[in-house]
Every structure is written in structure tokens, then in C-alpha cells.
Amino acid sequence: MDVVGNRTLSDLLTERGRRFGGKNFLTFVDRDRSVSEYTYTDFVERVQRVAAGFAASGIGNGDKVVVHLPNCPEFLFSWFGLAWLGAVTVPSNVANTAAELDHVVSFSDATAVITTAEYAALLDQVTAGKPAIRTRLLAGDPVLRSGWVPFTELLDHGLAAANAEVGSDDLAELLFTSGTTARPKAVMLTHANCLSAGEREWRALGLDPADRCLTALPAFHVNAQTLTILSALTVGASCVLLAEYRASRFWEQVREHRATALSLVAMQVRTLLAQPPGAADRNHSVRRVMFAINVLDDEKDAFERRFGVELINGYGLSEAMTIVTIAPVHGEKRWPSIGLPAPDRRVRIVDERGADVGTGVVGELIVGGVPGRNLMLGYYKDPVATAEALRDGWLHTGDNAYADKLGYVYFFDRRKDVIKVAGENVSASEVERVLLTHPGVAEAAVVAASHAIRDEVPVAFVVSAPGSAPTAAALIEYCAQHLAKFKVPAEVTIMDALPKTSVGKIEKRSLRQQPDAARALR
């Protein structure tokens, strides 16, 4: 037995509704800065109504529903309403192109989709000819659109009872994440994974019911889900969800909504520092700021000095339902360490044979746990990748790290061919796959280049097909038609040949030393 027991998301929500009732749970700030607020009682009732509407629409236990929504209350109502019935949320990045979204819808075996009017035409294109999609729901301002049901109509079916057959080991979410494969894999997360994350995060950050946890990060990623939403719900705190991040007004919103805990990515740290300093920069209630690596020493010092709050470094990944290590809130940080193992975490650093390495020696960071409890259940419909990642009770992260004599962990680099772009994971293989579909490209390789604001950006190196001479601009435009904006290469270099090893494998290390990849792009 662990801290979750056999409880589910609906159990957690019911418990917190009874205990915290009229207290504010969710404050949503729209793009026009209009505010919607929901107490714990309001939120539970809205989830029950949405669940009843889902059920009336034919959505039930085990059904997969693609939620293609930006930050909005409907995202949370859908996530918890589907869990209430035992259905499965499939979050979709709203930057996805038609091809990327088609993969999410088709591979997940979805039977329903939820989006807003802004993305309805895209979903119409993707779901055309897919009889498995029985239900299309349109959130946001009421808009009549053929084939779509307004989300508000879900509220007309009373209150749904939680599905008593759902247990903590049942699937709650399929989260697509970029890895080393050409197509994103779907991480299977259970109710126990969600509840474990909430417990872990509030304990690691030292939160309490008086906290107000604010984020502008997208709710379709684990960062916002765990460090803001689930941690706040678990401890009985309040959650402030911004529709979007704008550096020019973010810190003002932090003050306005009395935020006490933030989760930032490095891009946000840098863009906040780029804003003109103000006399009110230190006039706030923030006591915790969590971020994840990729901040330089001078940036960290400048942020802490200017805003008067300490940055708490950490490391996590979707397959572990986020935080694995974190700097102690009340202890020594030992910057640039990514901290010590978080509550309920066991961490080892091993060599290629799986043997523990010594102090200061770089090896792969692996995470101990139980699949479906505090590690992912596996990759959906991918037993080979699951077996590779989960071995003998350990999640192999593909990331290199080392530990000092006190056990503090330090991130070294990624074994996985993943590029970190402003908090988003980009699979180099996925970008390469798109480039190779261009008739003028014979070979392609994509690597990361450092970027002053976005941490890293993809840069591509290609060899033209015989008789073809595509330009770099044409290839960038081609990628933009098939990939989300953050995945599009910042630069493309046409080469006569790609460097290769003795066995014919592309030597990416050499490409990273090329001028186009080595310089910091701006």
C-alpha cells in the first residue's frame, strides 16, 4: 500500500470538496484579463455536470477523448469529468499541425474530441472520414457549427455519480511526448500516477492550504498539471491559471492575484529579466519558484536579486509524472545541482552495464518505482519501447547525470535525441522525418543549437536529392506546413554530404560543432 491507496481523481475531488467547500480553488485569467473564479464546491459540481453531459453523449468507461484546448476552465472540467466516468483524457498541444493532430486522434483510438471555435476547422479536417469519432464538443463562447455540440449543453443533464468501478490503477490520461522516435509516444498515466504526483509536489515544495499556485504554462503538459493543479488540489490550496504567458504583464498578474508559488521554464526567467526593472518588482507574495535546469549562473543570480525570491531547481519527466529530484526548500541548494530525490523517489546513476557509478562519475539517471503508481504504466500500444524504458522496476530516463559526495544530483546531458525549446520537447527524429518527405531531400539530420531566450532550437543539415536544389528557406517553409511552430528548424544548412561513422551512422557530434549549430542563435 502507498500514499494513494485505491483512491481515484474523483475520490480526491470529492474529499477536497467536502473539506474546503466555499474556499477558492480555481481562478482563471483570460487573454483579455477577465477573471472567472470557482470555489471547491463550484468546481466539484461543474465536474459532475460535465461528467453527466459526457455520459449523455455516449462517453463512458475506457473511452479516449482528445482534449485540444488552450488553458481554460473547460480543460480542467473535461480532465476531471472524464476521470469521474473512468474515461481517458488525451491532451493535445494546440500548436499541433493537422498531421500531428491526426496521429494523436488515430493512435489514441479516440471516440470524441473537444476544442474551441479557433481550432474547429482543423479538427474537422482531421476527423473527416473517422467513424470512430462519435462526439465533437465545442468549448468557449457559444458558436453554432455543423456537427459540433456546444460544451455548455453538457451542463443540462444533472449531476453524475462517480463510477464506482474505477480504481487507482485504471488509466486516466494518455500524454503524447516527444522522444527519440519519429512519432511521439503516448505515455499511459493512471489515477494513482496523478494522485502520487499531487502528493509528491506539495511535499517537495512545502505548500499548504494558504498557498496560491499560479502558472501560465499549458495545462496539456505535466508541469502545469502536477506542480500547479494537482499539488494545489491535494493540499487544499488555490490554483491560478493564466490563459497565456506575456512577459510584459506576467509579474503584474503575479502581484494582482497574490500568487505565492510559481513554476517557470527558463524562457520565462529570461524574458522576465528582459523587461524594464520596476520599483514594484519585489512587491509580491511569492515564496516558491520552481524551475527545471537550463538557467545560467548569471541569470539565476540576476532573477533572485531583482525579484527577491529564490529559484528552486529540479528535474522531472512525463514518464515519471514529473518531479524526480528537487533542491531542498529549507536546505542547501548546491547550485547548479538539480537537488535530491523527491519524496517517494529512488534514484540511481548507472553505467551502460547497469552498475552504479562512483561519486562524480557521469552515468544514466534511472528512477525506481512501481509502474502505474509512481512511474508511468508504459507506452500505449508500444510494448518494445515500454520494455526498453521500464526494466526491473527502474525507469531509464536516457539522461546523463552525476552525484556529489552528499548525494546531490547534477544534470549532465541528454542521451535521448531531444531538443528543449522553451519548455517543449522536440524530437529530432520527428523533424528529420518531415524533412525526408520533401522530394528534394536525400538525407537529413537535426541537432540542437543554443538560443539566448528559448534555451535550444532545432537546426537542420540536409543533403539534396540528385537533380534537386531546394533552398534553406523553402525547406523551413515546408517544415512549417507540417510541424508545430516550435519544432521548425531555425536554420537549414545544405551540405554535399553528412559526416558519418565507420558503420555509416550520421555523426551528430560533428554537426553540433558546425558554425550554424555551435553559435547561439538569436
pLDDT at residue 504 in the model: 56
Beta strands in 153-215 (DSSP E): 171-177, 185-190, 212-215
pLDDT at residue 242 in the model: 98
pLDDT at residue 501 in the model: 57
Residue from 422, 365, 414, 423 nearest 394 by CA:
365
∠ CA 203-206-210, rounded to 5°:
115
Residue from 380, 425, 441, 436 nearest 221 by CA:
425
DSSP code of 440?
T
Q: Is 324 helix (H, G, I), strand (E, B) or coil?
A: strand
pLDDT at residue 378 in the model: 98
Q: Which residues of 119-151 are buried (b: 16+ CB within 10 A; e: fewer)?
A: bbebbbebbeeeeebebbbbbbeeeeeeebbbb
The three three-digit cell numbers of residue 356, written as one number: 552504479
Helix 9-20 / helix 191-205 crossing angle, nearest 10 deg: 50
Q: Are 69 and 138 in contact (CB under 8 A)?
A: no
- Measuring CA to CA, how many Å separate 97 from each of 91, 137, 368, 380, 425? 14, 19, 36, 21, 16
Beta strands in 470-514 (DSSP E): 491-495
The three three-digit cell numbers of residue 486, written as one number: 516550435
DSSP code of 113?
E
pLDDT at residue 520 in the model: 40
Q: Which residues contact 358 (CB under 8 A, 6 or more apart)?
A: none
- The pTM of this model reads 0.86
pLDDT at residue 503 in the model: 45
The three three-digit cell numbers of residue 200, written as one number: 509528491
Q: Which amino acid is at 247?
A: A
Q: Are 515 and 125 in contact (CB under 8 A)?
A: no
Q: Which amino acid is at 392?
A: D
Total residues found in the chain within this entry: 522
Q: Which residues of 37-59 are buried (b: 16+ CB within 10 A; e: fewer)?
A: ebbbebbbebbbbbbbbbbebeb
Q: Is 156 helix (H, G, I), strand (E, B) or coil?
A: helix
Backbone angles phi, psi at 322, to 5 degrees: 80, -125
Low-confidence spans in the chain with pLDDT less than 70: 178-182, 294, 416, 501-505, 515-522
**Domain ranges (residues) in the chain:** 418-518
Q: Is 505 helix (H, G, I), strand (E, B) or coil?
A: coil
- Residue 257 region, left (φ>0) first, then alpha (ψ -120 to 50), else beta? alpha
Using only the alpha carbons of the chain, give its radius of gyration: 23
Q: Are 281 and 307 in contact (CB under 8 A)?
A: yes
Residue from 206, 80, 68 nearest 139 by CA:
68
Backbone angles phi, psi at 55, to 5 degrees: -60, -40
∠ CA 264-222-93, rounded to 5°:
95
Residue from 414, 398, 391, 373 nearest 188 by CA:
373
Q: Is 236 helix (H, G, I), strand (E, B) or coil?
A: coil
Q: Are 367 and 402 in contact (CB under 8 A)?
A: no
pLDDT at residue 518 in the model: 46
Residue from 327, 290, 302, 293 nearest 214 by CA:
290
CATH code for the structural domain at 418-518:
3.30.300.30
pLDDT at residue 522 in the model: 42
Write out pLDDT tens, residues 11-50: 999 999 999 999 999 999 999 999 999 999 999 999 999 9
The three three-digit cell numbers of residue 23, written as one number: 474556499
Q: Which residues contact 209 (CB under 8 A, 6 or more apart)?
A: 20, 23, 235, 236, 237
